[in-house]
Structure 1
Amino acid sequence: MKLLVVEDDKTTADFIARSFSDEGHSVDCLASGREALAQASASAYDVLVIDRMLPDLDGLSLLRALRAAHVETPAIFLTSLGGVDDRIEGLKAGGDDYLVKPFAFGELSARVSALGRRPPLREAETTLHAGDLEMDLIRRRVIRAGKEIDLLPREFSLLEHLLRNKGRVQTRTMLLEAVWDIHFDPQTNVVETHISRLRAKVDKPFERELITTVRGAGYRIAE
């Protein structure tokens, strides 16, 4: 397996890396949460081993950011924070397992192997495209024809949903549920208003229209 160990204590990191290497695994080690975010987003790993207390970006924030970017690589927290609330917090942040220091390497190895046996997930998408439009999910940036487009958070979420369903009609109800988490019709024009604002930024300044209205059905973004 290919593992990423995110641990700022060099002695611990070296021990983990050496022990997994002796078992035949490929191991990368990083001490920075921000570096790990970039590395885990750009490279495919089988399992992540993450300390919670890291410089510049703590382990919880690191994993939350990865999950928000749809990086679903199995992750185990390896940390000295062992309270019940700490464990719950780690699992809710997107962790798949939680092991408290001090630890036995045999147990860590067994837990990592169990995570590695899970069915492989498709490679995580970090960018979405439609024509000359590109959405960077890590940097939260939208660029069309080389020009950066400034979107509000809800507009970004709406465009992301349309891009993830590129070529498929999205009804008003679908958009309310996916973007606003509303599971009933509030009898407002919130969808129409945001689509109009999104078109003004994404389509109006450019020659080709990407977001189209399918009369009587909903909205669709072109392939």
Structure 2
Amino acid sequence: MIPQSSFSNYSNFESYWNYLYPWGPSHKGTALMLGNSSYHEHIYLNNSVLTLKATRNNHKLGGKKFNYLSGTIYAKKHIEVNSQYPNYSICGDFKVPTIKGTWPAFWITCTTSWPPEVDILEFKGSTFNNFNIFQIHKNVPTSIDRTNISSPNDWNTFCFYMDRINNNDVSLSLSLNNMSIITHNGTGFVLKQFWLIIDLQMEGSSGNPGPSSDTFYYLRNVKIISNY
């Protein structure tokens, strides 16, 4: 669905990725997201590495105050487990900021409702990654694992595998550097469509005030393989 080469140049990148969130330029933090085909100050490519940059910059939009300008992208194709595509592998290499007020993430969320959601990578102002699986049904427990990453500013590989079990459920697995972290079932995930989102949000639940200097989030080798 998305080849490892999608970050090789802007033309290839824009064949597979959209700018902003699927719903617009903001989410739960204080960063306003920017990006389009002619704007690459906060989203840019260099040697097949994609950089998202957050800059302290007070800004208002629709009466809401934003403390940062930043970048986010999401995959153009939806992820959907069904009888034709029963398996998905979603992987990438990441260097993440971990100081207070930085909130980088790599996650899938349902296009029509919340939950379900799976956070493959989510750092909230510390060196702990939040591997989260938010279930559809309230009687099915949410899986949350906070794992301390020894070198988050170096390249680490985060992967997510979703495999169809039956007409309703899937097996979900989250891994770090080829080591399994969470394996769990997702109840009711079959036939749900998901966005894959990569964003550098700021402050919010990652704490405040955030950094005054520029913040960088680096990505490479991001790929989605169906029927792997």
TM-score interval w.r.t. the shorter chain? under 0.3
TM-score under structure 1 length normalisation? 0.24
**Higher relative strand content:** 2
Based on CA coordinates, which of the two structures has the bigger radius of gyration?
1
TM-score under structure 2 length normalisation? 0.24
**Higher relative helix content:** 1
